[in-house]
Amino acid sequence: MSALPQDRPPHQAPAETPPETPGDAAEAYSRRTMIRADLALIVEMVEPGTRVLDVGCGTGELLECLVIDRGCVGRGIELSQAGVNDSVRRGLSVVQGDADTDLNDYPSDAFDYVILSQTLQATRAPGEVVANLVRIGRRAIVSFPNFGHWRVRLDLLLQGRMPKSEALPEAWYETPNIHLCTIRDFLNLADELGVTVERSLALDQQGTDKGIAGLRRANLFGQHGLFLLSGG
Partner 1 sequence: MTDTTSVSESAPDRATPSRQELAGQTVELGRARPLMLDCGVELGPFTMAYRTYGELNADKSNAILVCHALTGDQHVVDPPHTERSGWWELMVGSGRPLDTDRYFVICANVLGGCMGTEGPKEINPDTGEPWGLDFPVITIADMVRAQTLLLDHLGIDKLFCVIGGSMGAMQVLQFATAYPERTFAAVPIAGAGRHSAQNIAFHEVGRQAIMADPDWCDGDYLRQGTKPRRGLAVARMAAHVTYLSEAALHRKFGRRLQDRKSVTYGFDADFQVESYLRHQGSSFVDRFDANSYLYITRAMDYFDLAADHGGVLARAFEDTPVRYCVVSFTSDWLFPTSENREVVHALNAAAADVSFVEVDTDKGHDAFLLDEPEFFSVLNGFLEGCAHLAGLVGERRSNGQSAGGRVE
- In the complex, which residues of this chain contact partner 1 (CB under 8 A)? 4-5, 7-8, 10, 64, 68-69, 73, 75, 81, 84-85, 87-97, 102, 105-107, 110-111
Considering the complex, what minimum distance in angstroms separates the CB of residue 67 from partner 1?
9
Identify residue 22 by its one-letter amino acid code.
P
Separation in Å, CA 210 to CA 6, 55, 88, 162, 218: 20, 26, 35, 26, 9
Our CB check for partner 1 shows the closer of 96 and 196 to be 96
Give me the residues paired with residue 199 across strands: 228
Our CB check for partner 1 shows the closer of 66 and 167 to be 66
Considering the complex, what minimum distance in angstroms separates the CB of residue 95 from partner 1?
4
Considering the complex, what minimum distance in angstroms separates the CB of residue 60 from partner 1?
8
Our CB check for partner 1 shows the closer of 68 and 189 to be 68
Our CB check for partner 1 shows the closer of 114 and 187 to be 114
Considering the complex, what minimum distance in angstroms separates the CB of residue 62 from partner 1?
12
Considering the complex, what minimum distance in angstroms separates the CB of residue 113 from partner 1?
14
Our CB check for partner 1 shows the closer of 106 and 147 to be 106
